[in-house]
Structure 1
Amino acid sequence: MTLLDEELSSPLSSRVLACPVQGKWTSFQLVDEFGSGEPYVGLAYEVTDSEGQKYTGRLDAAGNGKVNNHFAGPIALTLAQDYQGHEKAYSFLQTRPHYPLKITELQVRAEQTRYLNNNATRTKDNPAQACADEYYQVEVRHLVEHAAHLPPEVYRHYPHSSGPAKIMGKHGQLGVALMPQKHTVLEVRPLRALRPMLSTGSEFCALNLYQLALMATLSYCPFGQQPEDQPVKTKTVSFPLQPSVGNWFGDALAKFDELWKVDSTQTKAYYPLYEDVPYSKRLEIVPFDPTLYPVNDPKLREDQEHPAKIHFLDDRKLGVEATDTQAFITHNDELILISVRGTYELVADGLRDADAFQVPFEEGEGQVHRGFYEAAQKAAAFAVSYLDRFYAGQKLLICGHSLGGAVALLLSEMLRRRPEGYDIQLYTYGAPRAGDANFAKGAAPLVHYRMVNHNDPVPSVPGTWMNTKAKVFGSGLALTFVNVPLGLSVFVAGITNWTGEPYEHHGTLRHFMPVEFGRKAQSSILWEPGCDTITQHAACSVALQQKNGLPDRPGLLTQVFSAGNHLMAGGYIPACWATLRRWQEAQESRRSLVTEREFEWIESALIGITQQLRDKCRDLLARPDAYVRAHEQAIGAINREVDKVHTTRTRLATLRYMSVSQKDVYGQLSEQPERLADNLPRWQAHPQNQVVEQLAMAPSSGSDSTQTASIYGHTIGAPHTLDIDSII
């Protein structure tokens, strides 16, 4: 015991200690970025003074609060009362079984405010500053206890000082510390987020075509969570890497940053169409807080949960069980988005593509590509785990490119057949065939829109023509592919399906037809051709035209992994953007989807194709009877193709007069015109989207043109003679 303690404990002590001084006051006001305190009227607050004494009250009709007669020194202000309203969306988030959120009344109020600046940058001037002794810009996370589910901080022109909180010691650890004898105004940043606009209707629309092309491309990016080490031993995680899935949904869009890069090599900006939504209605990344969620405890080691494990599938870490499958999943109260990655690592994914042996589709009917099926089983386990936690009747939007499109198809059919009755819509881009005719028939109820870029060879594999023309790959295989990586040569051997039923495509085909009239006049038409000559031309003309028993152009796999028209950033995204712009212009100006000039160009090409087919048929029929009998199947196929070309010409003529409705462009969102009116101007303001739709010109890079010209022997989109001899 010290001398002072002894003296104070004596009943005869005359020593008197100075008591903390009371009688101080502090006032404060919460305002939005327009200077109004109305959004925060009636909110309950709690104040802690420097001695730990607590005071409570409610903000008045102007958002003001005041504490009188508190102890000397700063005070700490919090507004941490839980949300007690009756809006179902918030109540559900508070009480859901997995990762319930600590939503406060303050958060809900802040979600109902709006930014002064359309780009969400912080204001430099606020009318409420005029009546303030001190003025700070704060965020909801600064005034509540639990902030793991809230967005990261953004730059502030007037941040609150940490000095008063340090003076208060342990009593200043929570909330915003304010100096006494002053009136402090706190401008609360709105809690708004950007969300990619998506239609939940079952009909095809240009909006989803473009938006899901971007999301399918984003699936190639890493999740980007920091720290990367497992288990996560820090109290928080972050997502600084751009582009990455985690940064998109867990950082940038949550802070209202308008991202466009979905590929690390991308140089041309293709902005998604975003809508401004309350933060709780964004596409979610679950919070990480070991003190709040026991499943985040690092002591669980490999069983620990964290955002990357919940939202991102990357099974390369599974050792011998790995399928090199990658996908991400996120959701809000309207939809659940699943995106599956395509071919990325040439050897690993090439081996996956190559394993074309057919196996029974255990969840349904028919037989499917074994390599794709094994990958889909991994994706299904990942998706079902997520759906079991967060599915609450939302629409499932699933997308994938290339290999990812094939896996996404099998995954979608697996989910469709589950007892939950999921409502699924699937968009695939440049996807190869995944199953046989029985599978395609059994999966007919699945809503699937299948996009194919002209001269993209991948959708033509595995193909029936590989069975009938096996000598292209069977003889001299080692010589043909001696200079390509191991994974690619195995791919070529694998896609030759020797014993199974022919592979067949599933879904409604939408084909991008490029049309080029001159040096600066080109267009891209999205349509549904009725003939195989156009959609199969790329693969057939290269793989089947032979010279000395071998292909006379670069090997198929050179195209598959190099051709610009199969890539997303250089092929499908520009085509989808062009389609969206074309349909927007057609709808706004009340004109047809195909101009007279385009109709005449393609009509002429189709007439030429028909003539080539008939000439070839006559040539075959003029040969000896034995030859004709041996080629009856080919002759029949040519005659059927003539009929299909006629169907294609009819469809083209229909497009010539077809008008476009707002529903064709925006799907179910067309039923909410105010939603479109509020959000479309943001996208239209970007210079890239102000190009007058001169036939919806699709951007293209010179390198892509040079590359594909060297492969195909002509510039993609330029008029050229279609060699029918090469496809029979």
Structure 2
Amino acid sequence: MDFEAWKKPFFSEKMPVCPLRGGWLSFALVDETGDGKAYAGLAYSVLDSQGQQHVGHLDGDGYVKLDNPYRGPQVLTFAALHEASGSDYYGVLQARSHYPLPITELQFRAEQTRFVRSDGQRVETNPAQQQVNRFYQVEVRDLVRHVAHLPPPAPRSHGPQRHALQMMADLGFGPPQPGLWGVVLFPNQHTVLQVRPLRALRPMLSTEDGFCAMNLYQLALMATLSYCRFGQEPASHPQDEVHFPREPSIGHLFAEKLSGYQQAWRVDAEQVQRFYPLYEEVPYSRRFEILPFDPDVYPQNSPTLEARQEYPARLHFFDDEEQGTDTQAFICHHDEVVLIAVRGTASAADGLRDANAHQVPFADGLGKAHEGFYQAYRAMRDFVLRYLDQFYIGQRIVICGHSLGGAIALLLAEGLRRVKDANYNVLLYTYGAPRAADAEFTGGAAALVHHRIVNHNDPVPSVPTTWMNTTAKLWVPGAVALFSAPTPGGLLFAAGLVRIGGQPYQHHGEQQHFMPITLADGTHSSVLWKPGCESVQEAECNRALRLHGDMPERDNLLKQLFQASQHAMVVSYVPAAWATLRRWQQTLDNRGSLVTAREYALIDRALSTMREQLQDKRLELHRLSPANGRGHEQHDALSAEIDRLQTSRQRLESLRWRRLEVRDVYGSYASSAHLQPSLERWFGHRENRELSQLASIPPAFQADRGRGKPLDLDSIV
């Protein structure tokens, strides 16, 4: 450096910068294998301490060298947006009218890279570290301005020096910045930046109409998750950012765990057993999206809007507790699926709604619906339609719900199916759902694809009974029974209910029935099948009700309802769904049949006994029928049910010879390249490596809520 240069002040009067030039700096972007080709040609910007911007493109190896820059620290950023076509999903995300995403080219490139480790944990060594001055583990959010739509940072041991960036801002180096973003580089040093892949996990859901064991299990978990809170902090009126620290919660699972490539298994606050969903690895932008919150980018997030302010909890989570129905549900989406899960009975308000069995017209279709369920559906209808209006692009709408949530989900699914000119393609799975509407509604909704899951010892699917059509005003004091799952609250009955007209309540959808069995080693499992009759479903509840005409016997009803652990999700439906998935997987691998000879004999004997009992009852009614023949209605109903039981035996017989196809187990993923790596990930958990010939239901831990009673095949008769 010449003498005149030394005579100049080190900092100028207007801005404290170093005016001296000379030397060099270089940097490279690489993936976790040390390869920079994923970032070849990427546009960059380097801002020096004089406020001058140096722009260019990385070479074919993701490398750049700058000669003769101003001395002092430099700030590297990547602001160029990804250029996508309108039909590409990235283009859809960037151009949508509500919450368009500022997806940079750097983000797009990072989404195409992969983790070295299958669990997504960082690698601490990289071949590109050799002969470098500085090595940083960076994320896309370190190098771009807008980060609300990006995942939270993962732990790292070689992070960039954020204090250097803060120091430059404090000293006033460069022009004023709206926020701290970018990575500081230092002169006469080569810096390697290892960019973390932007990959996410998402629960696999088949979009085909046909029933599959994977959806049975996956949606049982999502229906259970619907009982959780959304988990946003602050819960309302956020100022600048939101977080989702509470586990389990809906926001934590989707916005924290899965967005950060972490497998989550907890979907219930008191859950002890680990039930992992089957996850597929996808580019980050194709995850189940929790919408971003950034008042600087989205005016609708501004705190000045007060009651009209939008934030993730308001967009994804419906909670009508303050308005009176206490309906709760969540909704989220990705490029192929919109997922809606509706919570079941969880409060006294839910119980009051369950008990209101009066029938009212279903305004969005045909027939009449249970008034309490219909009120809940109407409360959340606009919330769902508003979300679909903003983010529906032709995906399959998959809806699930348990108990009360299943009944509301049915009305919602049929209501969406009938929205004029929308062409919503709806797929519905319900678990332990009561009857929600009358026979006319069921006939009008025949085109709706509905897989209705029933646990044998669950009394809830047997109500409202066909003779119920009354309001809460007709309850008989002291004859109320209260139960719920998974938290206290529940379904209220009155022993003095009378039928006052209207078509009988009728179930909708194809019943998939968990038939309990005991394996040779004494453990319990279940066979999932389609009985095609109501007797199997009604047997448990009828034994409790001991119907005398239309009146239930109170003591047995109360006793049965308070033993309703078989209605719970975590200790009943979820374990049974897991056991079914494992059974079907093993059957597929072994090319065996769905039931063994012993299982067939046990269930067939129970069905035969039931059929004989109905035949005896028919003979008794025939002997007691009046001379005017008015008893023919009961006689005809019994004859029809006897015929259906014979059909059930024939269906059971078919299970002995049925050979499963991959599609029966995994639906639309049967031929997907994602299936095998997803299964390897799932079987990596010891809980899923069940080696018995037929998967048994995992025994409930003492800490689990509502410890289940033993499954007993004899309870069918």
Q: Under a length normalisation based on structure 2, what TM-score does the superposition of the two structures give?
A: 0.91
Does the residue aligned with 1:203 lie in a helix, a strand or coil? coil
The answer for the alignment partner of 1:191 in structure 2 is 198
Q: Would you say the 8 A contact 1:621–1:628 is kept in 2? A: no
Tell me the CA shift for residue 449 of structure 1.
Answer: 0.7
The answer for the alignment partner of 1:639 in structure 2 is 639
In structure 2, relative to structure 1, the CA distance for the partners of 1:54 and 1:245 (3 Å cut) is same
1:17 to 9, 33, 37: 9
Tell me the CA shift for residue 530 of structure 1.
Answer: 2.5
The answer for the alignment partner of 1:12 in structure 2 is none
1:304 to 297, 300, 309: 309
Q: Would you say the 8 A contact 1:514–1:716 is kept in 2? A: no
The answer for the alignment partner of 2:438 in structure 1 is 436
**Residue 542 (structure 2) pairs with residue 525 (structure 1):** no
Q: Would you say the 8 A contact 2:201–2:279 is kept in 1? A: yes
1:248 to 238, 245, 253: 253
In structure 2, relative to structure 1, the CA distance for the partners of 1:560 and 1:349 (3 Å cut) is farther
Q: Does 599-608 or 94-103 show the bigger shift?
A: 599-608
In structure 2, relative to structure 1, the CA distance for the partners of 1:167 and 1:378 (3 Å cut) is same
1:174 to 161, 165, 181: 181
Structure 1 counterpart of 2:464, which letter? P
**Residue 93 (structure 2) pairs with residue 81 (structure 1):** no
Tell me the CA shift for residue 262 of structure 1.
Answer: 0.6
Structure 2 counterpart of 1:598, which letter? E
Does the residue aligned with 1:350 lie in a helix, a strand or coil? helix
Does the residue aligned with 2:332 lie in a helix, a strand or coil? strand
Give the share of equivalent positions with the same residue, in percent: 47
CA distance in 1, matches of 2:494, 2:554: 16
Structure 2 counterpart of 1:199, which letter? S
Question: What per-residue deviation string (whole Å, max 9, x for no partner) do you get for residues 338-396 of structure 1?
Answer: 11111011x11001111211111111110111111111012211100000100111110
Q: How does 1:7-406 map to 2 (within 5 A)?
A: 17-18=9-10, 20-86=19-85, 88-169=88-169, 170=172, 171=174, 173-229=180-236, 231-233=237-239, 235-318=240-323, 322-345=324-347, 347-406=348-407
Does the residue aligned with 1:564 lie in a helix, a strand or coil? helix
- Give unmatched runs, 5+ long, in structure 1: 1-14, 710-714, 724-728
Does the residue aligned with 1:17 lie in a helix, a strand or coil? coil
CA distance in 2, matches of 1:151, 1:707: 36
CA distance in 1, matches of 2:53, 2:250: 43
CA distance in 1, matches of 2:148, 2:120: 21
Tell me the CA shift for residue 62 of structure 1.
Answer: 1.4
Does the residue aligned with 2:670 lie in a helix, a strand or coil? helix
Does the residue aligned with 2:674 lie in a helix, a strand or coil? helix
Question: What per-residue deviation string (whole Å, max 9, x for no partner) do you get for residues 426-456 of structure 1?
Answer: 0101111111000001111111111101111
Structure 1 counterpart of 2:584, which letter? W
CA distance in 2, matches of 1:17, 1:39: 44
- Give unmatched runs, 5+ long, in structure 2: 1-6, 12-18
In structure 2, relative to structure 1, the CA distance for the partners of 1:668 and 1:32 (3 Å cut) is same
In structure 2, relative to structure 1, the CA distance for the partners of 1:90 and 1:80 (3 Å cut) is same
In structure 2, relative to structure 1, the CA distance for the partners of 1:430 and 1:157 (3 Å cut) is same
Tell me the CA shift for residue 652 of structure 1.
Answer: 0.2
Structure 1 counterpart of 2:544, which letter? V
Q: Would you say the 8 A contact 1:356–1:495 is kept in 2? A: no
Question: What per-residue deviation string (whole Å, max 9, x for no partner) do you get for residues 130-152 of structure 1?
Answer: 13111110100000111110001
Tell me the CA shift for residue 494 of structure 1.
Answer: 9.9
CA distance in 1, matches of 2:701, 2:285: 43
Q: Would you say the 8 A contact 1:708–1:716 is kept in 2? A: no
Question: What per-residue deviation string (whole Å, max 9, x for no partner) do you get for residues 56-78 of structure 1?
Answer: 11111211112222222111101
Structure 2 counterpart of 1:248, which letter? L
Q: How does 1:433-582 map to 2 (within 5 A)?
A: 433-466=435-468, 477-481=476-480, 491-492=493-494, 498-517=500-519, 520-544=522-546, 551=553, 553-556=555-558, 559-560=560-561, 563-582=564-583
Tell me how large the CA RMSD over aligned residues is: 2.7
CA distance in 2, matches of 1:191, 1:342: 35
Q: Would you say the 8 A contact 1:351–1:491 is kept in 2? A: no
In structure 2, relative to structure 1, the CA distance for the partners of 1:187 and 1:560 (3 Å cut) is farther
In structure 2, relative to structure 1, the CA distance for the partners of 1:689 and 1:706 (3 Å cut) is closer
Q: Does 113-122 or 157-166 show the bigger shift?
A: 157-166
Tell me the CA shift for residue 533 of structure 1.
Answer: 2.0
Q: Does 126-135 or 259-268 show the bigger shift?
A: 126-135
Structure 2 counterpart of 1:718, which letter? D
Q: Does 385-394 or 475-484 show the bigger shift?
A: 475-484
Q: Under a length normalisation based on structure 1, what TM-score does the superposition of the two structures give?
A: 0.90
Q: Would you say the 8 A contact 1:354–1:494 is kept in 2? A: no
- Count how many residue pairs are aligned between Structure 1 and Structure 2: 690
Question: What per-residue deviation string (whole Å, max 9, x for no partner) do you get for residues 310-365 of structure 1?
Answer: 111011133xxx311111110111111111111011x1100111121111111111
The answer for the alignment partner of 2:16 in structure 1 is none
Tell me the CA shift for residue 478 of structure 1.
Answer: 3.3
CA distance in 1, matches of 2:590, 2:383: 45
Tell me the CA shift for residue 573 of structure 1.
Answer: 0.6
In structure 2, relative to structure 1, the CA distance for the partners of 1:500 and 1:702 (3 Å cut) is farther
CA distance in 1, matches of 2:615, 2:703: 34
Question: What per-residue deviation string (whole Å, max 9, x for no partner) do you get for residues 257-295 of structure 1?
Answer: 100111101100110000000000001011110000000
Tell me the CA shift for residue 304 of structure 1.
Answer: 0.6
**Residue 679 (structure 2) pairs with residue 680 (structure 1):** yes
Q: Would you say the 8 A contact 2:27–2:64 is kept in 1? A: yes
In structure 2, relative to structure 1, the CA distance for the partners of 1:512 and 1:495 (3 Å cut) is farther
CA distance in 1, matches of 2:704, 2:685: 26
CA distance in 1, matches of 2:148, 2:703: 44
Q: Does 492-501 or 86-95 show the bigger shift?
A: 492-501
Does the residue aligned with 2:524 lie in a helix, a strand or coil? strand
Does the residue aligned with 1:536 lie in a helix, a strand or coil? helix
Which has the larger helix fraction? 1
In structure 2, relative to structure 1, the CA distance for the partners of 1:300 and 1:479 (3 Å cut) is closer
Tell me the CA shift for residue 534 of structure 1.
Answer: 1.1
Does the residue aligned with 2:518 lie in a helix, a strand or coil? strand
Q: Does 614-623 or 161-170 show the bigger shift?
A: 614-623
Tell me the CA shift for residue 162 of structure 1.
Answer: 2.1
Q: Would you say the 8 A contact 2:332–2:340 is kept in 1? A: yes
Tell me the CA shift for residue 543 of structure 1.
Answer: 1.4
In structure 2, relative to structure 1, the CA distance for the partners of 1:531 and 1:32 (3 Å cut) is same
Tell me the CA shift for residue 678 of structure 1.
Answer: 2.3
In structure 2, relative to structure 1, the CA distance for the partners of 1:282 and 1:313 (3 Å cut) is same
Tell me the CA shift for residue 620 of structure 1.
Answer: 4.2
Q: Would you say the 8 A contact 1:74–1:167 is kept in 2? A: no
CA distance in 1, matches of 2:411, 2:509: 12
CA distance in 2, matches of 1:488, 1:511: 23
Does the residue aligned with 1:571 lie in a helix, a strand or coil? helix
